[in-house]
Structure 1
Amino acid sequence: MNHYRVPTEDLAFILFDVLNAPDQLAALPAMAEADEPLLRQLLDEMGKFVSGQIAPLNRVGDEVGARFKDGAVTMAPGFRDAYQAFWQAGWPALSAAPEDGGQGLPAALDAALYESLSAANHGWTMAPGLLHGAYECL
């Protein structure tokens, strides 16, 4: 059983007390709506998703891993479903530009998401981790 829980209060401390993100973002017209209540809500939802769906797959990812057979890669059990839930919830588009189908939210929030994903299950995180590199190239 995996007991990892995203430390959302620690992430909130960094965003709000250290970085003063709401005030910093309010000065940017494109980020003016990213206020503290919205950021807190997103941190809470991120914590629930990562702790509940990604962290529990860490062990099976380590024990079973990905398999390459007959020219096809099969991920560990549960990885595909978690990835489907990840993109259906809109997490990959968190900081992507709205004109590209993204949510246009701060990169600092995206960094908190990927920090949480990597801490919960680095093996799983390698797949969506490729998304932003590809997005930036396009």
Structure 2
Amino acid sequence: MNLDATKFAIVLDGGLPGGVAANAAAVLSLSVGRAFPEIVGPAVTDGDGDEHPGITQLPIPVLRAAPEALPELRRKASERGLYCVGFTHTARTARSYDAYTQRMAATANDNLCFVGIAIVGERSAVEGLCGALPMLR
């Protein structure tokens, strides 16, 4: 992966309360980190010689959109061959991964309500989808 040509953006339902938005961004970031471990840089050493684990090498804008716009944005990202992971209301409210898996299996794609999505891919393609979206506040 050429990090200079890669963009990573998170788009959340703009009406989420702060704690829910922070949780959604964290969940989506973990999924992206698993799919693209090269985004995380190597450990660094501070001036006192203490080592600090690597963090993301890419900026991660956290943007906002209307909840009804998220499925369409996800669809467009997929059509353009971009990596896109969604965090659904089903996932957010499940108390275990087994419960999440069962609830997802019983929910049609058209009935999924997205809390947020993360998109990773070629910079201009991601910017074309997300560039006009405002930052989450």
Compute the TM-score of the two structures, normalised by the length of structure 2: 0.27
Greater share of helix: 1
Relative contact order higher in (CA < 8 Å, ≥ 6 apart) = 2
Q: Tell me the TM-score normalised to structure 1 length.
A: 0.27
Higher strand share: 2
